[in-house]
Amino acid sequence: MSVSMKELLEAGSHFGHQTRRWNPKMEKYIYGDRNGIHIIDLQKTLKKFRDAYAFIKDLSFKKGKVLFVGTKKQAQDLIMEEAIRCGMFFVNKRWLGGTLTNFATIKKSIARLKQIEKMKEDGTYENLPKKETIKLDKELEKLQKFLGGIKDMDGHPDAIFIVDPRKEKIALAEANKLGIPVISVVDTNCDPDKVDFVIPANDDAIRSIRLFSSKIADAVIEGREAASSARETEEACVKTNESRARREIKETAVGEGTEESQVEEQPAAMEKIVDERPSKAPAAQAKRKKDSKAAPRSTRAARDGGEK
């Protein structure tokens, strides 16, 4: 479900930055200004967000992966919560340079993170000196802080959702370099040119960040559920077609069996008719003999009458 005008107003998404801190490239998304603050045109926000929502939903339908990025203080917890809710990846502390462009190195750090976690689970920690465990705990804490949200990410994401592209300029640059689509909440002080799906809105207010983060997560979930429903429908159709095919094969086999039995019954019937014929022949022969005996008597009687 996409966002509504009422939700945007209640979240304060229409409040931009001070007019003196604006980026001229955002002019087309600005409705006006009030008390030195730019007011964002929410009609355009609605349209732009619907486009972004449809894109994320379709991406999720095709099993695409989305990386949520928001390292500013007011976005950290919200980004983590919504990413976890929809089963996607996130970076909410600090973007490590090369997270995307040098992913091979990042994967080594992720492998180290998983190794230490496994050591804690299988009891290896208990056999280590206290000094060593303290050192490993610090290393684990650092790795979890920066890589915990992407430790299950096997490759590049199919899209990135960013809160404040000005703050996350390194992440934005890496995504642009790799051709990864970027969806971002863009305030009046940002450059929208490097963002594929611009959502012109307040990227500082917690309510505004929560609104867009939760809606993007909803789009992911909706797309996944639609895909699951489509697969179930397809499987049901396949089963129905298979059942119909089996029934037709069975009916065809029964029909062929009936024809064969009829063909087999015809010679048997003919044999029966032939067998019945001799039983009627003696009666016919007896009748002919009787008629032949009666014929001479009639002839003699006629002759005797004539002589008299």
Domain-located, residue 306: no
- From residue 44, give the alpha-carbon distance in Å to each of 2, 21, 200, 276, 277: 14, 21, 8, 98, 100
What pLDDT is recorded for position 265? Answer: 56
Backbone angles phi, psi at 88, to 5 degrees: -115, 180
Domain-located, residue 141: yes
Cβ atoms of residues 185 and 162 within 8 Å? yes
What pTM value is reported for the model? 0.76
Helices 206-307, 73-85: crossing angle, 10 deg rounding: 20
Domain-located, residue 233: no
Query: From CA 149, how far away is CA 140, in angstroms rounded?
Result: 13
Residue whose pair of structure tokens reads 């002589």 in the numeric block: 307
Query: From CA 171, how far away is CA 194, in angstroms rounded?
Result: 11
Report the candidate in 278, 273, 63, 269 with the shortest Cα–Cα distance to residue 157. 63
Report the candidate in 17, 22, 20, 12 with the shortest Cα–Cα distance to residue 42. 12
Cβ atoms of residues 164 and 194 within 8 Å? no
Residues 6+ apart with CB under 8 A from 46: 2, 3, 5, 8
Domain-located, residue 30: yes
Long-range contacts of 301-304 (CB under 8 A, 24+ apart): none
Domain-located, residue 296: no
Domain-located, residue 308: no
Query: From CA 20, how far away is CA 37, in angstroms rounded?
Result: 9
Q: Mean pLDDT per segment of 10 residues, for the chain of length 308 residues?
A: 90 96 96 96 97 98 97 97 98 96 96 93 86 93 96 96 97 98 98 97 97 98 92 70 73 65 56 52 53 50 46
Query: From CA 178, how far away is CA 25, in angstroms rounded?
Result: 24
CATH number at residue 9: 3.40.50.10490
Q: Can you read off the two tokens belonging to residue 213? A: 């983060």
What pLDDT is recorded for position 99? Answer: 97
Residues 6+ apart with CB under 8 A from 224: 60, 61, 86, 87
Domain-located, residue 28: yes
What domain range is 199 assigned to? 5-227
Q: Can you read off the two tokens belonging to residue 26? A: 């955002």
Over 17-85, what HEC string results?
A: EEHHHCCHHHHHHEEEEECCEEEECHHHHHHHHHHHHHHHHHHHHCCCCEEEECCCHHHHHHHHHHHHH
Domain-located, residue 257: no
Neighbour-count burial of 243, counting CB atoms closer than 10 A to its CB (0-12 exposed, 13-18 middle, 19+ buried)? exposed
Domain total of the chain: 1
